[in-house]
Amino acid sequence: MDFLKLSIIQAIDEASEELEELSKDIWRNPELCFMEHYAHEKLTNFLERKGFVVTKKFILETGFKAEVGTTKMGPNIAVICEYDALPVIGHACGHNLIAEAGVAAGLGIKAALGKMEKPFGRITVLGTPAEEGGGGKIDMINAGVFDNIDIAMMVHPSPETSSHCSSTAIDRAPNRQELDQLKDKMRCCFDSAAIGTGCQV
């Protein structure tokens, strides 16, 4: 598994300058919920350049999906990007970083999939508009976008470290049996996050 981990690290390291510029570009051009046209264009063009099959304006005007791989032999892993800003204070919530991290994770997982002996699984980078008050993910859930996704994950920047899962899905789940074990582990992560925040899974 180490060679897969290495390919992930390499792919992200190689793109680090471009990723940073992508994030700063979005930060310099803040857009409110459902109006993230600039970020949508930048992110989808970037992912296209990196070899993803991109669907622009997916479900929503500023939504997108970018895919690589097949679900015939493995899971569909979604990494979520947010990229909307707040009125007056711009990207104070750091959604430009969520976009950067989502794209970076997508690049890493794509690289790992490319190293597998046989086709295994799909990586879907999902652009979900309007987290700041618009609820773009709700529209996407209602449209069935998550129905064929096995695992969805994203990060949100914070000054503190909070609940997280330190595993890498593709690293931990080379087959169906181990995927089931991974699901159990992730279920525990979600349960602990829910307990910590007073929510229900």
Stretch that binds Zn ion, among 67-75, 90-98, 120-128, 175-183 (CB under 5 A): 90-98
Q: How far apart are CA 8 and CA 100, in angstroms?
A: 15
- CA dist., res. 31 & res. 114, Å (int): 34
Beta carbon of residue 134, minimum distance to Zn ion (angstroms, whole number): 12
DSSP bridge partners of 125: 66, 79
Minimum gap (Å) between residue 94 Cβ and Zn ion: 7
What is the spatial distance between Cα 153 and Cα 106, in angstroms, rounded to a whole number? 11
Output 39 or 93, the one with its CB closest to Zn ion: 93
Residue 55, classed as helix, strand or coil, is: strand
Of all residues in the shown chain, the one whose CB is closest to Zn ion is 93
| Residue range at the interface with Zn ion (CB under 5 A); choices 37-45, 67-75, 91-99, 105-113 | 91-99
Looking at 40-48, 49-57, 85-93, 183-191, which segment touches Zn ion (CB under 5 A)?
Answer: 85-93
In terms of Cα–Cα distance, which of 103, 101, 110 is closest to 158? Answer: 101
Nearer to Zn ion, 93 or 107 (CB): 93
Q: Which is nearer to Zn ion, 3 or 199 (CB)?
A: 199
Decide whether 93 or 130 has the Cβ nearer to Zn ion: 93
Q: Which is nearer to Zn ion, 93 or 169 (CB)?
A: 93
CA atoms of 111 and 108, how far apart (whole Å): 5
Closest separation in Å from C-beta 70 to Zn ion = 33
Give yes or no for residue 93 binding Zn ion (CB under 5 A).
yes
Task: Phi first, then psi: give them for residue 79, nearest 5 degrees.
Answer: -115, 125
Q: Which of 74, 66, 30 is nearest to 48 (CA)?
A: 66
Looking at 44-52, 69-77, 92-100, 177-185, which segment touches Zn ion (CB under 5 A)?
92-100
Structure tokens at 49: 């350049």
Interface ranges with Zn ion (CB under 5 A): 93
